[in-house]
Structure 1
Amino acid sequence: MYGRKAVTGAAALLSAAIVAVGCSSQPSEEEQAGTIRLAVTDVQGMEELQREYGAFQAVFEEKSGLDVEFFAVTDRTAAAAALQADRLDVVFTGPAEYVVIHERTGAEPIVAIERDGYRSCVYTRADTGLTSLDQLRGKKVAMSDIGSTSGHLGPSQMLKDAGVDPTTDVEVLTVGDAVHAALERGDVDAVGIGCHDYEEFMAADDPAAYRLIEEGPILPPDLLVGRKGLDAETVTTIRTTFSENFDELLSAMLEGKDNAKFANAKLVEVTDGDYDRVRSMYQAVGVNDFSNFLGD
């Protein structure tokens, strides 16, 4: 099925990345002292990482007394591989990515940042006559990227909750940023996407030409996770720094041009169990045995 094929490919990539990173030399204890190696899974390349999070780095270092060493990764699989190889200490990542990283590496939540209005939306053209999710049975639905929390897993779970199996009852097309264009052209009958993206599409188009079918519940928050075995003192320092200086840290994050999604975000406490909803979302797209998905 669609979901099973997608995640099997991801498992192969993750295993390959772990082998590659595991061959790297390990930093000495002296090199690691007082320093945390930080990656952000949705930022590619050191230059972009510095541009988007340089201001955050400066504020965090000032408030925590820790040095931050940026570690560039290409995606969640590379981050998981680096964590497992002890080349990385902390990862800032999304909920779908966290579930993969946790299952592979044992990384645990440190702090979580809940985005304002972080939901999934399913919408259609006004002329389709579609008004409910159950009417999408037998239709084509565009979503963004495989494994995206708000643009794939969230809408898939919404369909599942409405009694529509996203792996068999609809044809899901993952087309990235072209979701709205696909709907405009009539290539698909509906779109499942993050609500912020939906709002941006409506702001740039004629909202009267479209109909919001359903808005999903708030999704689990983004989070900083620490590698298995990260010392308790460092974890406590990170938590305390965020709890005592969150407004300043958030303001610094928002200096990154692609971080507007964190506007009005809140610092929240989470446990691994808060991400069981995401595990259910994976099951909605055909991942019924997560250990097999991860290549264990």
Structure 2
Amino acid sequence: MIYTITLNPALDHIIETDGFNIGETNYYNKDYVVIGGKGINVSIVLNNLKANVLSTGLMGKSNQHHFTNKFKEMLVKSHFFFYPGDTRTNFKIKNLKAKQETEINGQGSEIDFKLLTELKQYLSANLDAGDIVVAAGSIPKGTPITIYQEIGEIAADKQALFILDTSKEQMIAGLKSQPYLIKPNIEEICEILKMPFKKYSFEETQTMVKQLRELGARNVLVSQGSQGSIFFGENGDTYKVGVAQGTLVNSVGSGDSMIAGFTYGLYKQLDLKTTLQYGAAAGAATAFTQWLADRNEIEKLIKEISVEKL
């Protein structure tokens, strides 16, 4: 079983326009709302891949129907813990003419500590050895920065694999639980290590990854956007992972889909090369579609992904 955890989900209100200027009245052509949250995105892509996955975490009670109705429609298993009020809304303005995207993200409601305790108790009662736990995304107001560390420790105690995809202080704390995989980009690595954000050589990146390992990370998949990614394995092996060719339609959820593809490879006990191909193909397939990729779109791109041992 795979469990995905989303502590700060969102409704993504996407607005498409042919022009957007700050400080002026703007008009748009189309808008729509999709459910969001990094862990929820991971669970939907895994469900599309026919993996046995359950989506859990925290959610506002007042507008939960947006999520629960979509889960029922897509046959995604879920078990969320609800707080009073609304789940936050994020606004994403797509300037189609300029190929630019502006995001205005909500911070979310302050969470009752009791809900976090209930979530941890649920994981303790249900996790089995060999399960995979994917914790992804930001944390809501009032949540201790140690929450992902605590979840990672529960996973370790149950002999489950823990994958962590977050940033800032909660990532630094979460590394203490020795997650099996993290997927930062260079900017996020710089934030963790308190280094200036700039272009770094491969050798410098290697040194930075070594520092992440000293903080607790086991395997590190460094995302490089259109240049692919580099996987630094805990056994010392390093792989350069390529990208598929296509037209960018939607960047939202691409990184989450990469995590989903990699997790699917672990779940199916595939070899590392194929696991990395699934990760890159899932990320690309989402980038090439309006929302999140399905199984056919992902598997069509698998053979395009090069994996080279360095």
TM bin (shorter chain): under 0.3
Larger radius of gyration: 1
Relative to the length of structure 1, the TM-score reads 0.27
More strand, by proportion: 2
Higher helix share: 1
The TM-score normalised by the length of structure 2 is 0.26
Name which structure has the greater RCO, CA cutoff 8 Å, separation 6+. 1
